[in-house]
């Protein structure tokens, strides 16, 4: 029962939970969102490039990533990245990659598949006249994308992109399977050390809930503002 | 790459004494499908109820639907599983908690219930979108014909809404299957879990994960194909997908 709920356990663990755990979680979320967006946009451009082979490669990649569970992908990259590193650097043995680098690569590669679908929808939502006008003005393909299409696509899709980032923020908790000290990992380590599972897991749930709630509330505000501009 | 490939590993006996390593993976696949099926039933039933509540004229029902969806959507699935698995038995009255802890197959039931409720919030949102995408006249016509609210939903709104949201429901079902892999953290030996333990026993990392990957892709392909047939079968004449 909740009668012997011990707030002091949480209070004592706060510095560890936030300085170690939450810093890891937020850094991973931010960098993975940025990397995933860049790589995802590249995938979307490949799919819409009109070049059959390029589009095919990107399509297969996106479908492949989207049909696998994230946990399996995390395991894949955790074991694969050292070998890829060895192959790239020509080292004699698989190189050791830190937990952070390994999970960052995983999340960039995985989220890129989801971000690319969002960006593809964003690019397709722009009227044909825009790229036509851009090329009439003499802009090259790269310039058209850089100055005309992508800024609008990005802006139109901003709420969806942020929503996907909230999902990513929640998904980073899955690095737990590699015993990494992200926010949930930190909470779970304290929980097991002190035998206080109820307190720590409830507290972790409340923190995730609060952050995600505030962020999705912000998305709704943003959506309303963007809707007025158009 | 100095990695010792050994694809024959699948036909070697596993250390659990339950046949070959391949049998181990296939039993994981069976558990993945069983968990996903039960979770999907929970998600469809509760998701439909909550989704309908979100479209009712009653303020209380709408508010409950909103709170329900926000509650289950704003926590990571892993945290929700921990809450069901570690926290719930502790905060229940002692007898009920003890019964829960001693339940055989606890990881299976926890995973099915946890993933089920997690997905139900998503089903609810899809169904709400499906119902609100119907022309307003449909509801009015139902009322004008003298149907009660329940009958209106049963005979007019829901049959249309469910057909419209069939494609997004397909991807939610695929998400349900994928999400069962999270239950590896509470000790459920589903497909990812079995691949992981095969890797630990045999050190054949890439063979184990390749096999799991192929099995997931196969399941995906089967579900997508089956849903295509279902979509064609229930298609509404006059709509783009209709005959």
pTM, rounded to two decimals: 0.91
Q: Is residue A205 included in any domain, yes or no?
A: no
The domain spanning residue A103 has which CATH number?
A: 1.10.3720.10
Q: Give the pLDDT score at A12.
A: 86
Q: Give the pLDDT score at A161.
A: 94
Digit-coded pLDDT (tens) for B10-23: 888 888 778 888 99
Q: Which residue has the higher pLDDT, A69 or A128?
A: A69
Q: Is residue A224 included in any domain, yes or no?
A: no
Cβ under 8 Å to B: A residues 180-199:
184, 188, 197-198
How far, in Å, CA of A2 to CA of A17, rounded? Answer: 22
Q: Is residue A6 included in any domain, yes or no?
A: no
Domains plus CATH for chain B? 37-188 (1.10.3720.10), 190-243 (no CATH)
The residue to which tokens 């090329």 are assigned? A135
Check whether B212 has a pLDDT greater than 70.
yes
The residue to which tokens 């192959």 are assigned? A87
Digit-coded pLDDT (tens) for A13-63: 888 889 989 999 999 999 999 999 999 999 999 999 889 999 999 999 999
**What is the pLDDT of chain B when averaged over all its residues?**
91
CB pair distance less than 8 Å for B74 and A212 = yes
**What is the pLDDT of chain A when averaged over all its residues?**
91
Structure tokens belonging to residue B89 = 């038995």
Q: Give the pLDDT score at B92.
A: 86
B80 part of contact set with chain A, CB < 8 Å: yes
Domain that holds residue A75: 19-180
Averaged over B189-216, what is the pLDDT? 92
B66 part of contact set with chain A, CB < 8 Å: no
pLDDT > 90: what percent of chain B?
A: 72
CB pair distance less than 8 Å for A184 and B80 = no
How many Cβ pairs closer than 8 A exist between chain A and B?
108
Structure tokens belonging to residue A189 = 């380590």
Digit-coded pLDDT (tens) for B59-71: 999 999 999 999 9
CB neighbour list of residue B72: distance below 8 Å, 6 or more residues apart: B80, B117, B118, B120, B121
| Structural domain count, chain A | 1
Closest CB to B184 among A1, A76, A177? A177
Smallest CA–CA distance, residue B88 to chain A, in Å, is: 8
Give the range among A20-24, A134-138, B94-98 with minimum mean pLDDT: B94-98
Cα→Cα distances A186→A21, A105, A173, B36, B207, Å:
5, 21, 10, 29, 32
Q: Give the pLDDT score at B242.
A: 54
Q: What ipTM was estimated for this complex?
A: 0.90
Q: Give the pLDDT score at A10.
A: 85
């Amino acid at each position: 029962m909740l009668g012997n709920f011990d707030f002091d356990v949480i209070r004592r663990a706060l510095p560890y939970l936030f300085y170690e755990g939450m810093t890891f979680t937020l850094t991973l979320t931010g960098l993975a969102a940025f990397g995933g967006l860049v790589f995802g946009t590249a995938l979307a451009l490949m799919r819409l490039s009109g070049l059959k082979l390029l589009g095919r490669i990107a399509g297969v990649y996106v479908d492949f990533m989207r049909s696998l569970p994230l946990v399996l992908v995390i395991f894949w990259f955790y074991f694969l990245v050292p070998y890829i590193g060895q192959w790239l650097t020509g080292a004699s043995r698989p190189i050791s990659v830190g937990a952070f680098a390994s999970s960052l690569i995983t999340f960039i590669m995985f989220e890129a598949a989801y971000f690319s679908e969002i960006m593809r929808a964003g690019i397709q939502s722009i009227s044909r006249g825009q790229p036509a006008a851009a090329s009439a003005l003499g802009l090259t393909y790269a310039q058209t994308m850089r100055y005309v299409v992508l800024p609008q696509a990005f802006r139109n899709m901003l709420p969806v992109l942020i929503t996907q980032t909230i999902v990513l923020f929640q998904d980073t908790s899955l690095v737990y399977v590699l015993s990494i000290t992200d926010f949930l990992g930190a909470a779970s380590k304290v929980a097991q050390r002190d035998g206080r599972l109820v307190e720590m897991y409830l507290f972790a749930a409340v923190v995730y809930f609060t952050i995600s709630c505030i962020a999705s509330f912000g998305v709704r505000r943003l959506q309303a503002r963007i809707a007025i501009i158009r | 790459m100095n990695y010792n490939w050994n694809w024959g590993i699948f036909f070697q006996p596993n250390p659990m004494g339950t046949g070959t390593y391949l049998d181990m993976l296939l039993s994981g696949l069976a558990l993945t499908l069983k968990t996903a099926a039960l979770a999907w039933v929970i998600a469809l039933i509760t998701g439909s109820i909550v989704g309908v509540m979100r479209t009712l004229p009653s303020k209380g029902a709408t508010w409950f639907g909103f709170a329900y969806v926000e509650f289950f959507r704003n926590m990571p699935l892993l945290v929700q599983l921990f809450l069901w698995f570690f926290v719930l038995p502790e905060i229940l009255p002692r007898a009920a908690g003890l019964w829960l802890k001693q339940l055989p197959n606890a990881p299976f039931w926890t995973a099915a219930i946890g993933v089920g409720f997690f997905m139900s919030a998503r089903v609810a949102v899809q169904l709400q979108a499906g119902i609100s995408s119907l022309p307003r006249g449909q509801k009015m016509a139902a009322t004008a014909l003298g149907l009660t609210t329940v009958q209106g939903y049963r005979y007019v709104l829901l049959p249309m809404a469910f057909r419209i949201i069939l494609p997004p429901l397909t991807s939610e079902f695929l998400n349900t299957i994928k999400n069962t892999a999270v239950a590896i953290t509470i000790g459920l030996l589903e497909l990812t879990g079995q691949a992981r333990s095969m890797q630990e026993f045999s050190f054949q990392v890439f063979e184990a994960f390749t096999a799991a990957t192929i099995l997931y892709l196969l399941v995906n392909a089967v579900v997508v194909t089956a849903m295509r047939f279902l979509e064609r079968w229930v298609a509404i004449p006059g709509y783009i997908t209709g005959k």
